[in-house]
Amino acid sequence: CFPFKIKKEGFIELGGGVLQDEDVKNEIELVVENNLPKDLAEQKNYISKLGSSYLIVIYIKPLKKEINVAVIETYKNTIIEKLKYNLPNLQVEIIFD
């Protein structure tokens, strides 16, 4: 059963599906949530893996009419900094929802 699971996860990854490793997914989600600036609300996120590359797309909603771009850039860089040792090939995208 274990080899089938590995093959299944590989096919999902190749197809651009969501990350299948729950431990890594939980680690990423904790970093995303715990570093969210107070003026933003996370709506949802999408985490995928292709080979050794990870893509995190974070959909956020501003709680104020104006938001400083530096705050968004700092948030993105903080996520990358905290995850780069375990996920060296990481791309983070932030989308306003």
Q: How far apart are CA 43 and CA 70, in angstroms?
A: 20
Question: What is the average pLDDT score of the chain?
Answer: 85
Mean pLDDT of 59-80: 92
The pLDDT value recorded for residue 1 is 53
Kindly state the tokens that stand for 40: 């933003």
Is the model's pTM score more than 0.85?
A: no
Q: What is the 3-state secondary structure (H, E, C) of 45-96?
A: EEEEEECCEEEEEEEEEECCCCCCHHHHHHHHHHHHHHHCCCCCEEEEEEEE
Kindly state the tokens that stand for 50: 């292709």
Task: Give the tens place of pLDDT for each residue, 23-57.
Answer: 999 999 999 999 999 888 878 999 998 878 899 99
